[in-house]
Amino acid sequence: MLRIKLFRLIISAFIMCYVQLVVAAPLNIDITGGKNVGIPIAVLPFEYATGSDPFARAVETDDIAAIIRNDLYNSGHFYTLDVQGIDTNPADIKQVDFGYWKNFGAANLVVGRIVSRGGGLYDVYFELIDIYKGNMEPLLNVRVSDKYPEQFRALAHYISDLIFEKLTGVRGFFSTRIAYITIERGKEQTINSLYVADADGYNSKAILTVPYPIMSPRWSPNGKYIAYVALGKQSSINVINVTNGKRDQLTKYPGINGAPAWSPDGSKLAMVLSKDGAPKIYVLDLETKELRRVTSGGAIDTEPFWDPNGQSIVFTSNRGGKPQIYRVILQSGAVERITYTGDYNATPSLTPDGKRLIMLHQSEKGAYNIAVQDLNNGKVKSITSANLDESPTLAPNGMMVLYGLRDGDQSLLGAVTLDGKFRMRLPLQAENVKEPAWSPFLLKN
């Protein structure tokens, strides 16, 4: 009896061990692949009051959903589904037929409605819904209010920012602005303008129009000013107030006054001056007006860009014979070369985490393209492929580069994601657009 019991016990112990081995350890599967097609999202037209409400007409031309769709698509991270002609139009999650949207191919759905509060104020309610998680809680459920028509684009961009951040984990840049230079060549004279526009290229407005060439616009970290170079009889560095257009001249030394760059805290401006011989990097303290030269030697040093930590400046120099990018540590003055791939690397900027270098890089075929260098391993990857790209400027979230490109005789602005997989051209009205500058994140008005 005991014997049998003991036996059974031992046998069952073995079986248990075996079963344990099989059942206790879940199967491990590595998921490394995927589709880089963008997040499929359906943004439905927002429900709105009709009839005598002035908003009814506005929606046709200024549809919030259309702005959001455009923002998300042009970020390069979304695939916006065409929802024209669909036979369902839920206004909130309770009305959503999840099966329908699964079949439709949407991973996420944006629904919303607009309610007039009177006095030109509108409340906009929207929900961001995850189609696949199968829970009835929207990812986002937000009410925003603003005035029609002045603020509706801004409001739509704001909604895009919220959606983008929710779905990528990265702050969206749709509420930011860009600056650029346009050149209109007339018979009598050439008109040079400094424009600012929404990040999507809409809402453009010239804040400075002058007969002499202007270049190198750079936003101050608080987004209130733009420093730029004016090339009159003599070059000068100036600052313009974006809101009221008020201008101040900062430097007008003999020779070159160029390539201004704001320090991350906005208290200093790096620049290139040739007052002492070769063009060198200087730092101007904006409060004390103290000017300090930070590089030396007979070579050309230009295009300074501050490391986001404020401790060093990267710049272009021909001190090695060919243009390459170097870094100067501000405290010690020590300089190190950071680009080694190819014969031409210039116009450096750094991602907000300081880990990647964006630059103009001459490929082996001789084309000038935008390239990204990983500062950890030195690997360089071109993200554009046209012939004459120029002036790369990074979005404040570090995910997209705006740059100048040439198409025939035209100079245009293009945008590209940092992996080079998504490129677009900005819909600007002007023919000759150059030298874009992306603003920092701006506080919502």
Binding site for other proteins (CB under 8 A): 2-3, 6-7, 10-11, 14, 18, 22-23, 26-40, 76-77, 102, 107, 130, 132-134, 139, 165-170, 353, 374, 379, 381, 399, 417-419, 421
Q: Are 226 and 242 in contact (CB under 8 A)?
A: yes
| Nearest distance, CB of residue 29 and other proteins, angstroms | 5
64-74 and 54-62 helices cross at what angle (nearest 10)?
Answer: 20
DSSP assignment string, 93-118: GGG--HHHHHHHT-SEEEEEEEEEEE
Q: Which is nearer to other proteins, 139 or 179 (CB)?
A: 139
Helix (H) / strand (E) containing 229: strand 225-231
Q: SS3 for 293?
A: strand
| Nearest distance, CB of residue 327 and other proteins, angstroms | 22
CA distance 218 to 227: 5
Instruction: State both tokens at 376.
Output: 């950890």
| Nearest distance, CB of residue 177 and other proteins, angstroms | 21
DSSP assignment string, 52-80: T-HHHHHHHHH-HHHHHHHHHHHTTSEEE
CA distance 316 to 261: 13
Q: Are strands 78-80 and 140-147 parallel, antiparallel or unpaired?
A: unpaired
Nearest to 410 by CA among 184, 221, 216: 184
Instruction: State both tokens at 15.
Output: 């079986």
| Nearest distance, CB of residue 403 and other proteins, angstroms | 17
Instruction: State both tokens at 348.
Output: 């450096």
Q: Which is nearer to other proteins, 18 or 340 (CB)?
A: 18
Q: Which is nearer to other proteins, 37 or 443 (CB)?
A: 37
Biggest CA–CA distance in the chain, Å, is 116
Instruction: Please list the residues that pair with 181 across neighbouring strands.
Output: 194, 434
| Nearest distance, CB of residue 224 and other proteins, angstroms | 29
Q: SS3 for 268?
A: strand
CA distance 226 to 239: 6
Q: Which is nearer to other proteins, 280 or 356 (CB)?
A: 356
Q: Which is nearer to other proteins, 30 or 87 (CB)?
A: 30
Q: Which is nearer to other proteins, 223 or 420 (CB)?
A: 420
| Nearest distance, CB of residue 134 and other proteins, angstroms | 7
Q: Which is nearer to other proteins, 147 or 421 (CB)?
A: 421
| Nearest distance, CB of residue 25 and other proteins, angstroms | 8
CA of 362: how far to CAs of 250, 372, 405, in Å? 33, 12, 14
Q: Which is nearer to other proteins, 2 or 443 (CB)?
A: 2
Q: Which is nearer to other proteins, 133 or 205 (CB)?
A: 133
* Rg of the chain in Å (alpha carbons): 28
CA distance 274 to 282: 10
Instruction: State both tokens at 350.
Output: 């750094």
Q: Which is nearer to other proteins, 181 or 401 (CB)?
A: 401
Residues comprising the chain, all counted: 445
* Amino acid at the residue 126: F
| Nearest distance, CB of residue 387 and other proteins, angstroms | 24
| Nearest distance, CB of residue 107 and other proteins, angstroms | 5
Instruction: State both tokens at 183.
Output: 């050149």
| Nearest distance, CB of residue 405 and other proteins, angstroms | 20
